[in-house]
Structure 1
Amino acid sequence: MGMTTWWLVAPVLCGFWLVLVGAIVWMSVALAKALRARRAAETPSRATAGETPLATLQRRLALGEVDVETYERSVAALERTTPAPAAETTGDAR
C-alpha cells in the first residue's frame, strides 16, 4: 500500500474508531439510565413507607433542611388543613 492509497484508508479508519467510541459511550449512558431507573423503581419512597407529613417535617427539621420558623409555620398549616379525627360517640346522647 503506497502513499497514494493512504488518503482513502485514513478517513475509513478514523470513521471506524469514531463510531466505535461513540457506540461505547452511548451504551454506557443507556446502561446507567436503565440501572438508575431500576433502582428508583425498587426503592420505596418515604411517602409509600407510611411517613406522615408531620414526621417528614420533623425529620427535615432534625436534618437542618428547614429552620424552626418554617417548621412552626408548616405545622400550623398542616393543623389547619388536616381533618380532625372523628369524635367518638359513647351512645350516651342526652
Structure 2
Amino acid sequence: MRHEREVFAGLADDFAEQEGADSTGLLVQATYGMFRLKRFLGKLRPRIRAVVLPYLEGRSIQEIAGSLGLKTKTVHGRLHLAREHLKTLALA
C-alpha cells in the first residue's frame, strides 16, 4: 500500500521537480505541478476519481471500500487504473 501511495505522490513531485532551482522557482514549479495534477485528476472517470481522492487524503483501502460500498479488490483495481491513466497523461 505504501508503494502505491508513493507512486501518486511521486507524480506530483515529478511535476514540480527542477534541479538547482531557487526557492521561488521551486514554489512556482510546485504550484504548477499541483495545478497539472488537479487537472489530470479531473480527467479521471468519476467512479475512479471517487477512489483516488480519499486515497490521496490518506484513507485506507478498507475505509474507502466501506464508505463507497465496494470490495477492497475493486478499490485496488480502480487505483491501478488511475495510476496507469495518470502516468499516460503525465508523459503526454
Q: Which has the higher helix share?
A: 2
Q: Give TM-score scaled by structure 2 length.
A: 0.31
Max Rg structure: 1
Relative to the length of structure 1, the TM-score reads 0.30
